[in-house]
Structure 1
Amino acid sequence: MRGSIRRALVMALTAAAAVVTAVGPAQAQAEKTRYNCPDGAVCLYAEGAPLSSTPTHIWYSYGAHNLSGQYNKHWIYNNQYGWNALAELCTGYNGTGDCGDRLWPQDGVWRDLTPINSVVLRLYYPGEG
């Protein structure tokens, strides 16, 4: 009796491992990029270009990223993971001025960047406003 229980348990664990192995790589591939923006990044696209184009700027690190020479309408896409990973568009350099435009994860916006001078990647904390 003990031998048959052990064999059944080994077979069940082997089958479960096979399912996990089969599902893992498919999920990783699906999350790799969205709109040509790598997973975990915030991407800016060329003036007037569609989201299907290649981004001109890709940011991964938290903090302010200053813009230079970006005018008129652009797509900007937040492909960060985690519900509270924000990208904010600010009118001043170094994340100053009006930073009222917030992009939540998997959010994109078609925006006139003429008045925007920096993009800030940061975490949002509930209750901060």
Structure 2
Amino acid sequence: MCIYKGTTFGSGVELRFYNYGIYNLHKQFNNHLIVNNQHYDNHFHESADAYLCTGYNGTKQFWGWVPEGGYQVENLTPIYSVSVKAGPYPLNVPDCSG
């Protein structure tokens, strides 16, 4: 999964996450392009979905979801962590606890 410096692919990648896990964000403000470039793995029968959370360590309010192979622009000002987990998960089931 990648977070770009701005809202377009041409703005360049600022952060990369290669594995499942929870990643705390620091000093990320305003709109950024978020790309989930994970694809379905036929061997393990899973994909990776990214969840945006308003607290550190994957806690607090569920803010948004970037599905496998998807991309979107999000305001990262209220986002303090990203949780990358095996999917798929439905949109109506928040991943963030608390």
TM-score (norm 1): 0.60
> Which residue number corresponds to residue 45 of structure 1?
4
> Which has a greater percent of strand?
2
TM-aligned CA distance change 1:84 to 1:58, over 3 Å = same
TM-score, normalization: structure 2?
Answer: 0.78
Identity percentage of aligned residues = 37
Which structure ranks higher in relative contact order (CA pairs < 8 Å, sequence separation ≥ 6)? 2
Residue-pair matches, total? 87
Query: C-alpha separation between the residues in 1 aligned to 2:48 and 2:57?
Result: 18
Per-residue CA deviations over 1:76-126 (Å, capped at 9, x if unaligned) read 110011163101111110111122411111111111100000111001256
Structure 2's unaligned 5+ residue stretches are: 41-45, 94-98
Cα distance, 1:49 vs structure 2: 4.3
Counting helix residues as a fraction of each chain, which structure ranks higher?
Answer: 1
Structure 1 residues 113, 86: closer, same or farther in 2, change over 3 A? same
Question: Quick one: distance in 1 between partners of 2:12 and 2:51?
Answer: 21
